[in-house]
Structure 1
């Protein structure tokens, strides 16, 4: 399961004890200024390093009005202002306001979602060069990046500013028990890879055509069972 790496967290971010939740604090914490830590971009990386295989995780965003999620290269700059783009090792999607979203391409790709997701699914297929985002709430495809990856990749999380008190809730990484009963990918098969995740077989019908460089949302609906259980049913409040 994906967890947060406290050594990469910006000083204003507060992580829960189980390292599954992150929220923005009111002030910077006295933490070591190590080379891995972001000092300008208010974000945190996952502890996992992905160098092969397929991986899937879900993040509960709830009623947040702004957030940034995705994957980045381990080699991205942690110091100073950074322009997020695939060319710089970032594959990220952002909620900017209301039903408006952006894929942080260059230039940015803007689109709207019919229903704002309360939970976002992120799927990475390293060998196929695919990073896909899904709305777990209405079972729809949001966006897909394609890229020829090299080097380790890591999950990326940014809870964003408080937005006048409307965006104070944390981002929460769903545990295995909290994930949807039927996820974007089938249940794991085979033995685990060296980086800790199991091999997953992906139904090709769930992925868009791989001809373009990237894919904005086009009302693509993922075919999931009708009895899908909400991803965060019974979620307990995190302990910060």
Structure 2
């Protein structure tokens, strides 16, 4: 009942207890200052006032003070809002207008007086009496803070999960890296053991041959020593001359021992050992550079391919070609013949002679006859060079990898199961950008050399020559 009476004794304009209430000819009552300020704010004629509730005009001189209503309001305030005995408390006042703060602005979240509410700063804001504002503001604040608290708790939990996922992923990558390096180390260790064993076998054979030579030489030395002793011991002249021929023949001075000449094959062990092992190592490296070829059936009409289908450049004069469903008709691009549905694959592209290009991978079902954004959402995972800068697949400033970088050769790696397309500076294998996604169909290498900007330059697939 008190709440209903409180509402009946409140001015419809300031939503607070009437102060100097006045009544219009229509019977509605307002605070004197409220109705006059409202009339001025609405630009009403100086001689009349339109009721804010029913819009009936009342002559300004016909406004009557409502003393009965004023007395009722005063009595209600004394009855229901008495001051605490001996408290000496005084209502808070507006520092700007020195009036009691009776309203709460829900837009600015601050207490205001009646004059503040009628000012330009708050006239368009939602303002309510303190008592009702307290309940609503408290409930709204609790609801807002609880919502934010729940959001931050969810974010905190999600961040914790992300940390766990990151650590798990890092551990998996570390194990994978360790396994790959272990494979290389195992290969090198095997090659080292094999070469050491080979060297030892060759050395042992050479030593054995030299030992045999020493034995032959020792036998010949014994024969010579015996001949010397025999010659020295013979004193009778006739006997010496008769036997000398036989003595010399037994020494076999005319023929040399059949000595062997062992070889250590220095070229095998002291040549370009590291390069030799590196070439042998390519048999176990995965992924090794794939020798791609371009698919002429997919090439745009403004491109021309080399005979071996490893180079592409812009066509100076368009030629008539048969229509093919695989041919791109809206972009000057071409695909490779080779596509991938599993595993890791790496290829390199020489781009040193062209200024602008887009290189990457696309899904097999890509639309080849319509204009569309070359983004992952459309099935393209690319790197782009434009105005000397390198960009990721969205071609946005925030995805820029590096500025004014003169790339000579680009490396592209597709990890089908891992859902990654990574790009590298193939000269030093510096990582440039990685795009992640989930692949569900065949993936093809993609090349767009911007034929309209090409003069004599060509885009060339790199084939590793061994």
Task: Give every structure 1 segment of 4 or more consecutive aligned residues whose post-TM-superposition deviation is greater than 3 Å.
Answer: none
Equivalence for 1:101: 390
Task: Say whether the 8 Å CA contact 1:40–1:80 is kept in structure 2.
Answer: yes
In the other structure, the counterpart of 2:358 is: 68
TM-score by length of 1: 0.68
Instruction: Name the counterpart of 2:462.
Output: 174
CA distance in 1, matches of 2:445, 2:340: 9
CA distance in 1, matches of 2:307, 2:424: 27
1:161 Cα deviation after fit: 3.5
Matches within 5 A, 1:72-151: 72-98=362-388, 100-105=389-394, 109-113=399-403, 115-151=405-441
Check the 8 A contact 2:421/2:435 in 1, yes or no: yes
* Alpha-carbon distance, 1:102 to partner: 1.4
Q: How far apart, CA to CA, are the structure 1 residues paired with 2:332 and 2:316? A: 12
2:339 pairs with 1:41: no
Q: Which has the higher strand share?
A: 1
**Contact 2:300–2:334 (Cα < 8 Å) also in 1:** yes
Unaligned runs of 5+ in 1: 179-240
Query: What do the CA deviations read for 1:180-215 (whole angstroms, capped 9, x no partner)?
Result: xxxxxxxxxxxxxxxxxxxxxxxxxxxxxxxxxxxx
Gaps of 5+ in 2: 1-290
Cα distance between partner residues in 2 of 1:13 and 1:92? 19
Mapped contact 2:313–2:451 kept (Cα < 8 A): no
Q: Is the 8 A contact 2:353 2:459 kept in 1?
A: no
Pair 1:16–1:9, CA change in 2 (3 A): same
The structure with the largest alpha-carbon Rg is 2
Counterpart for residue 305 of structure 2: 15
Separation (CA, whole Å) in 1 of partners of 2:354 and 2:440: 33
Number of equivalences:
175
How far is the alpha carbon of 1:107 from its aligned partner? 5.5
Q: What's the offset of the Cα at 1:146?
A: 0.8
State the distance in 2 between where 1:80 and 1:174 align: 30
Deviation at 1:114, TM superposition (A): 6.2
Pick 1 or 2: higher relative contact order, CA cutoff 8 A, min separation 6: 1
- Aligned CA distance change for structure 1 residues 168 and 124 (closer, same or farther; 3 Å): same
Q: Does structure 1 retain, via aligned residues, the 8 Å contact 2:301–2:318?
A: yes
Q: Compare the two structures and name the one with the higher helix fraction.
A: 2
* C-alpha distance after superposition, 1:3-36 (max 9, x if no partner): 1000000011000011100001123221111111
Q: Name the SS for the 2:377 alignment partner.
A: helix
**2:297 partner SS:** helix
Deviations 1:34-83 (A, max 9, x none): 11100110000010111000100000001321111000001000002121
* TM-score of the two chains, using structure 2 as the length reference: 0.36
Task: Report the Cα distance in structure 2 between the residues aligned to 1:162 and 1:125, rounded to whole angstroms.
Answer: 32
Q: 1:113 Cα deviation (Å)?
A: 4.3
